[in-house]
């Protein structure tokens, strides 16, 4: 039967000496060594009791070993559940419990903070840091061979948690077919091959850096300049050695803010891809003026991988996300009736294809709300298709803020604020931010003498990752509501802009 993802992404590189990763210390990791390391992790995970179908939750730094751990999970038939290192123990507790993870791998420095979390969720705690950690040691001691566990296209490879507009985060179940089909489509669409060197500065706990960036390069057989995070100086220094880069719009606005970033620096680059959040048309134009390159903007989601992309050849149109990718069927539908709308009209974007996920883990009702019986996924994004077939995203039907490419669901913050003393109710909205695109601002309606803002900040810091923290708290006499009693967030956004 084979192992769908392993056979395509990893097995072909067995024993190869070509460079997979260029590392910050100037060293290189060869493909063959990476594949061998994956086998060591597969063995270490097996020895910790993980069996095919088990979930392995991973909250660690961006390291070559993190990628090898994912590869090891794939080899051993395990389901990889990557988690943002910025998440608080509270947040991690929910994910590990919900996923019923067999193992939680965390940074060695977080071992004490997460011990109870793992125990409470019935998970074994292992640690992985840069050259250290319990599973690092276990992998070092393991043989570089492990049987490749049979997994078919429909078997699950990863859960990625994505917040909901109501209630708690949902585990999006992604199959081997979902991940492989999309990587194949993108290699072709964006013309990646073994000569490419991808400048990789994105995090690897999300679709963009993990499946789009890394899986595409594994399939193409090219190399990655693997940077631990976004560092403007490091990016500029490495750019002349790269051929391509993928980033969120903040990457591009930050690069443009630096005078060293110009036509000469980017002369060897053949492709800049942007996604995860809207790229302003003015950024697109400023980028072309400065470098001569037209950024290729594409559109995707955790649940669907990549759906739509501007063309490699042909016009990359600023302000649009391009055409549905091969194998993706896209329709613009009426948000209320679900009926397909005529070309040119604005409605909810729905997509179908091998890229679309298998549903939300243990949440059949949520799955049924968003994934239709005919296979179409209701994205919650509003868009239209112009006469030339280009798709434009014009807004969101869902209550979502995207800050520097990270999704923030106001509901999650409001639920915490509403429980604090002195707050009757709250509403969180996104306001324009020059660096992150959008940033959250909280409106509070006071009761019982009003809130203690310092205490509130402390509670928010304890419970939520930093990027979700409201940048401002504004007191308001009452929340604006429509006749149905629904809070009018558009009015609050306008109000926030006036402060
Ligand atoms: C960091 N901070 C943030 C963010 N990132 N706050 C809000 N939004 C953010 N995105 C916090 C830091 O904790 C810090 O807090 C302060 O803001 C300033 O940090 P800074 O050093 O400027 O940030 P950074 O480390 O340079 O990170 C910014 C970043 C990063 C490079 C834009 O957030 C990033 O890599 N974003 C990419 C996210 C991504 O990959 N998204 C794809 C999701 P303090 O001052 O308190 O220390 S996948 C997806 O959306 C779909 C599938 C798709 O289509 O791709
Ligand atoms: P996530 O849930 O993190 O996968 O985020 C997916 C969401 O990011 C989509 O539903 C869109 O709202 C947004 N998104 C991704 N790419 C783009 C883009 N190129 N333009 C506008 N929004 C985007």
Residue-level pLDDT at 220:
98
Residue-level pLDDT at 165:
65
Strand order in the sheet with 329-333: 329-333, 347-352, 377-385, 391-396
Q: What is the pTM of this model?
A: 0.96
Categorise residue 254: left if φ over 0, alpha if ψ from -120 to 50, beta otherwise. Answer: alpha
Closest ligand 1 atom number to CA of residue 212: 55
Q: Which long-range contacts (CB under 8 A, 24 or more apart) does 431-437 make?
A: 431/471, 431/493, 431/496, 431/497, 432/497, 433/403, 433/471, 434/253, 435/250, 435/253, 435/254, 435/404, 436/250, 436/403, 436/404, 437/249, 437/250, 437/277, 437/278, 437/402, 437/403, 437/404
Residue 344: count other Cβ atoms within 10 Å of its Cβ: 10
The three-point CA angle 123-466-93 to 5° equals 15
Question: What are the C-alpha distances in Å from 207 to residues 82, 327, 328, 373?
Answer: 10, 19, 17, 25
Mutate to test the pocket of ligand 1, among 406, 428, 438, 458 (most ligand atoms within 8 A of CB): 406
Cα(301)–Cα(211) distance, integer angstroms: 11
Rounded distance from Cα 114 to ligand 2 centre (Å):
31
Cα(367)–Cα(80) distance, integer angstroms: 20
Return the SS3 of 273.
Answer: strand
Cα(322)–Cα(317) distance, integer angstroms: 7
Q: Is 76:39 a contact under the CB 8 Å cutoff?
A: no
Say yes or no: CB of residue 300 within 6 Å of ligand 2.
yes
Residue-level pLDDT at 1:
83
**Sign of the CA dihedral with 324 first, then 230, 62, and 7 last:** positive
Cα(224)–Cα(244) distance, integer angstroms: 9
Rounded mean pLDDT for each run of 10 residues along the chain, 499 residues in total: 96 98 98 98 98 98 98 99 97 97 98 97 98 98 98 98 80 98 98 98 98 98 98 98 98 98 98 97 98 98 98 97 98 95 97 98 96 95 98 94 96 96 97 96 96 97 97 97 93 90
Q: Is 54:74 a contact under the CB 8 Å cutoff?
A: no
**Which residues have C-beta atoms less than 6 Å from ligand 1?**
202-203, 206-209, 229-230, 248, 250, 275-276, 300-302, 403-406, 436, 466-467
Rounded distance from Cα 153 to ligand 1 centre (Å):
33
Residue-level pLDDT at 164:
67
At 192, phi and psi to the nearest 5?
-80, 140
| b (16+ CB within 10 A) / e for 200-226 | bbbbbbbbbbbbbbbbbbbbbbbbbbb
Say yes or no: CB of residue 54 within 6 Å of ligand 2.
no
Cα(118)–Cα(195) distance, integer angstroms: 43
């Amino acid at each position: 039967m084979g192992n769908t993802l392993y056979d395509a992404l990893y097995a072909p590189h067995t024993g190869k000496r070509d460079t997979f990763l260029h590392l910050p210390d100037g060293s290189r990791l060869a493909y063959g060594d990476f594949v061998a390391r994956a086998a060591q992790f597969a063995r270490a995970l097996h020895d910790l009791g993980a069996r095919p179908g088990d979930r392995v939750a991973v909250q660690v730094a961006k390291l070559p070993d993190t990628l090898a751990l994912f590869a090891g999970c794939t080899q051993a038939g395990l389901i990889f559940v990557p988690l943002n290192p910025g998440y608080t123990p509270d947040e991690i507790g929910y994910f590990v419990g919900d996923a019923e993870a067999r193992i939680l791998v965390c940074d060695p420095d977080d071992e004490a903070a997460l011990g109870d979390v793992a125990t409470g969720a019935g998970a074994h705690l292992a640690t992985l840091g840069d050259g250290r950690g319990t599973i690092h040691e276990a992998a070092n001691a393991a043989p570089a061979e492990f049987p490749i566990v049979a997994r078919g296209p429909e078997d699950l490879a990863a859960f990625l948690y994505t917040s909901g507009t109501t209630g708690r985060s949902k585990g999006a179940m992604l199959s081997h077919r979902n991940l492989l089909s999309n990587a194949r489509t993108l290699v072709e669409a964006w013309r990646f091959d073994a000569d490419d060197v991808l400048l990789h500065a994105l995090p690897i706990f999300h679709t963009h850096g993990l499946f789009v960036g890394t899986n595409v390069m594994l399939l193409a057989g090219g190399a990655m300049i693997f940077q631990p995070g976004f560092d403007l100086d490091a990016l500029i220094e490495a750019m002349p050695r790269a051929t391509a880069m993928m980033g969120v719009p903040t990457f591009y606005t930050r690069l443009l803010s630096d005078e060293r970033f110009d036509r000469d620096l980017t002369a060897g680059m053949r492709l800049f891809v942007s996604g995860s959040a809207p790229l302003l048309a003015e950024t697109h134009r400023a980028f072309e003026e400065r470098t001569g390159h037209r950024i290729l903007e594409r559109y995707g989601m955790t649940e669907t991988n990549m759906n739509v992309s501007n063309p490699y050849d042909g016009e990359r149109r600023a302000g649009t996300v391009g055409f549905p990718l091969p194998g993706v069927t896209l329709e613009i539908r009426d948000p209320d009736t679900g009926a397909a709308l005529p070309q040119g009209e604005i409605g909810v974007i729905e997509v179908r294809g091998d890229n679309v996920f298998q549903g939300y883990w243990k949440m059949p009702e949520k799955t049924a709300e968003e994934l239709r019986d005919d296979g179409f996924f209701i994205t919650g994004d509003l868009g239209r298709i112009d006469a030339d077939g280009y798709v434009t995203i014009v807004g969101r039907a869902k209550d979502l803020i995207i800050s520097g490419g990270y999704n923030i669901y106001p509901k999650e913050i409001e639920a915490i604020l509403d429980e604090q003393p002195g707050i009757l109710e709250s509403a969180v909205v996104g306001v324009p931010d020059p660096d992150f695109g959008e940033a959250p601002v909280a409106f509070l309606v006071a009761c019982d003498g009003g809130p203690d803002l310092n205490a509130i900040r402390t509670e928010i810091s304890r419970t939520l990752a930093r990027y979700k923290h409201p940048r401002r708290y504004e007191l308001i006499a009452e929340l604006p509501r429509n006749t149905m009693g629904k809070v009018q967030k558009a009015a609050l956004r306008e109000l926030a802009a006036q402060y």
